[in-house]
Amino acid sequence: MSCCESAKNQIKDGWFREINDMWPGQHLALKVEEVLSCEKSKYQDVMMLRTSNHGRALILDGIIQCTENDEFAYQEMISFLPLCAHSNPEKVLIVGGGDGGVAREVDKHPLVKQIVQVEIDQKVIDVSKKYLPNMAKGFDSPKLDLKVCDGFEYMKNHKNEFDVIITDSSDPIGPATALFSESYFSLLKDALKPNGIICSQGGTVWAGVDYIKNTLDHCRKYFKEVRYPVASVPTYPTGQIGFFMAALNENADLVTPKLKLSNEDLDRYNLKYYNSDIHAACFVLPNFAKKILYG
Amino acid sequence: MSCCESAKNQIKDGWFREINDMWPGQHLALKVEEVLSCEKSKYQDVMMLRTSNHGRALILDGIIQCTENDEFAYQEMISFLPLCAHSNPEKVLIVGGGDGGVAREVDKHPLVKQIVQVEIDQKVIDVSKKYLPNMAKGFDSPKLDLKVCDGFEYMKNHKNEFDVIITDSSDPIGPATALFSESYFSLLKDALKPNGIICSQGGTVWAGVDYIKNTLDHCRKYFKEVRYPVASVPTYPTGQIGFFMAALNENADLVTPKLKLSNEDLDRYNLKYYNSDIHAACFVLPNFAKKILYG
């Protein structure tokens, strides 16, 4: 095993520090008990930590992708928002999501029949299977066809195929940069069936709101209805993450869930964050963000 | 000027680290350019930092109270939620709030005629006037009567006086501990006029949710309608803060603002976070929190 020194250097005095120019002058630190794994894949530094209070944490290129304790918030929201906004999400594409968490959530939706997932980095899948079993169990879904390849390339050859496409990417540096480009949204559009809906990881309005605005503008060139819902995830930068969510149809109602989940459904699906009220409420933004993104 | 060494010790390699047992195994760090002031008051360590990217930051007993860059989110929400939920908030009491930010916001509401503020620590007022002029301008409100005394003691002698009481306290360690006790909610109840509403700083469901549940239970002994709205504040622990919000009246509708603000109002009052849609949406909680707090 070759160590990725730059990632390990972010650990000091027992704290992993998520220092990055994308959120200048601030960072979250997590107390580390043990570095379980640290390898350079073909694409990125892949590190797995055992933290003192947040379970295990997957770190890619020095950035926290998930911790076992709060990963549910992100996985549930990026999955159930587009699935429940669609009236019949039978066939779903997941781009990225190498920890398996999104596949785990998509598998729960009663109308989903078929899931294709394209993850570029086999190493992320392997390390997640070894250390994040409660997320990687998503790979056991009988509905899932997992392909290890470039999502960008995959979509060039798959047109008019999917009802929902979820892009669970890392941030726009390193291997995920293309997933925020204008041409990516063009590919997403073409890969969708009529009535299709997308949902992509979208950063935070509290750091880099101009980048979000630019990406939304890319999205608006190919999609008729474009929104930016948000969720609270304490171990993501600024404690909040947003999503680029968009529909092919003009005036598509993304805010009202087509499938309303009862309390029994929430328990059966083990949903700890998402519910139908959250679905509607998460589209409401503070004035400053609303002005910049929709203004 | 006597320095507060323990507070200064939280600065390492140019980063202020908000390490505290209330949020074990995680902390936010802010890059520091300069320690502008660091003094021990009668009650607590009072430190003012100039940060690299978040403006100035007020630190009490080692905990971030506000940064100039995102303070608006907290100040607007703790003020406008109870004010707009009340049909006629003429007389308002602020307990704590020594930086002046809440007074600044309460002053904006068109129906407010009289504001009394009781802050225990003159040092916090002084340092805020010197270093946080955009917050301390709240003290210039012609509606304001500022008293430097113990809010707990003050309320013992003021019954049936206020329409709204806002408790802008630090966390329940140090001088603010009493403001989370059962007897405090009893005092709040008695200090209110009929139809009265309270709103208090309430921690985060992502760290110490059991403490929040206990405090809500204290509140429920004296108030008929009790809720826990939330707001995103990146420089608070976990990036989110909640509020104990409660009404004397049974079935009081806290969720629907009585005063709906137009876009012109939002601009005139310089509201960067609060709007009438946020007012309704902020009461929606993730399942896990809903179950614990309302379950």
CA proximity to B110, closest of B126, B136, B85, B90 = B90
Please give the pLDDT value at position B199. Answer: 98
How many CB pairs below 8 A link A and B? 128
Count H helices and E strands in chain B, helices first.
11, 14
Q: Which member of B61, B168, B190, B267 is catalytic?
A: B168
- pLDDT, one tens digit per residue, over A209-243 is 999 999 999 999 999 999 999 999 999 999 999 99
Task: Nearest by CB to A286, from B28, B238, B272: name it.
Answer: B272
In whole angstroms, give the CA distance from residue B179 to residue B120: 12
Q: Does A275 touch chain B (CB under 8 A)?
A: yes
Q: Is residue B107 annotated as a catalytic residue, yes or no?
A: no
Encoded tokens for A118 = 């394209």
A288, B273: Cβ pair inside 8 Å?
Answer: yes
Give φ, ψ of B212 to 5 degrees: -65, -45
Residue at token pair 């794994």? A37
How far the first Cα of chain A sits from its last, in Å, is 50
DSSP string, B148-200: ES-HHHHHHT--S-EEEEEEE---SSGGGGGGGSHHHHHHHHHHEEEEEEEEE
Question: What pLDDT, on a 0 to 100 scale, did the predictor assign at position B179?
Answer: 86
**DSSP H helical ranges for A34-70:** none
Distance CA B286, CA A273 (A): 4
What pLDDT digit, counting tens, does each position of B127-174 carry?
Answer: 999 999 999 999 999 999 999 999 999 999 999 999 999 999 988 877
State whether residue B273 sits within 8 Å of chain A by CB. yes
Query: Using one digit for the tens of pLDDT, what is the confidence trace for B42-78?
Result: 999 999 999 999 999 999 999 999 999 999 999 999 9
pLDDT at A177: 86
Q: Provide the chain B residues 147-176 that lie in CB contact (below 8 A) with chain A.
A: none
User: Percent of chain A, pLDDT > 70?
Assistant: 99
Token digits of residue B76: 């607007």
**pLDDT tier at A87, thresholds 50, 70, 90:** very high
Q: What's the pLDDT at A1?
A: 44
Residue whose pair of structure tokens reads 């004397």 in the numeric block? B248
Residues in B closer than 8 angstroms to A31, CB to CB, are 24-26
pLDDT digits (tens, 9 = 90+) for A27-79: 999 999 999 999 999 999 999 999 999 999 999 999 999 999 999 999 999 99
A209 in contact with B at a CB cutoff of 8 Å?
Answer: no
The answer for A279, left when phi > 0, alpha when psi is -120 to 50, beta otherwise, is: alpha
The rounded distance, in Å, linking the Cα atoms of A84 and B107 is: 42
Question: Distance from CA of residue B220 to its chain's centroid?
Answer: 20
Mean pLDDT of chain A: 95
CA distance A3 to A6: 9
Kindly indicate the confidence band of residue B3, based on its pLDDT and cuts at 50, 70 and 90: low
C-alpha closest to that of B127 among B70, B50, B74 = B50
Q: What's the pLDDT score for residue B1? A: 44
Q: Which residue in A has a C-alpha nearest to residue B280's C-alpha? A: A281
Helix (H) or strand (E) holding A135: helix A133-136
SS (H, E, C) A68-95: CCCHHHHHHHHHHHHHHHCCCCCEEEEE
Cβ within 8 Å, pair A286-B278: yes
Q: Which positions 14-33 of B are in contact with A (Cβ < 8 Å)?
A: 15, 17, 24-31
Q: How far are the Cα atoms of B10, B17, B19, B26, B294 from residue B23, in angstroms, in the given order?
A: 15, 12, 8, 6, 23
pLDDT at res. B87: 97
Asked if the model's pLDDT at residue A2 lies above 60, the reply is: no
pLDDT at B7 (0 to 100): 75
**Scanning every residue of chain A, which has its alpha carbon at the shortest distance from the alpha carbon of B279?**
A284
Burial of B132 (C-beta count, 10 Å sphere; 0-12/13-18/19+): buried
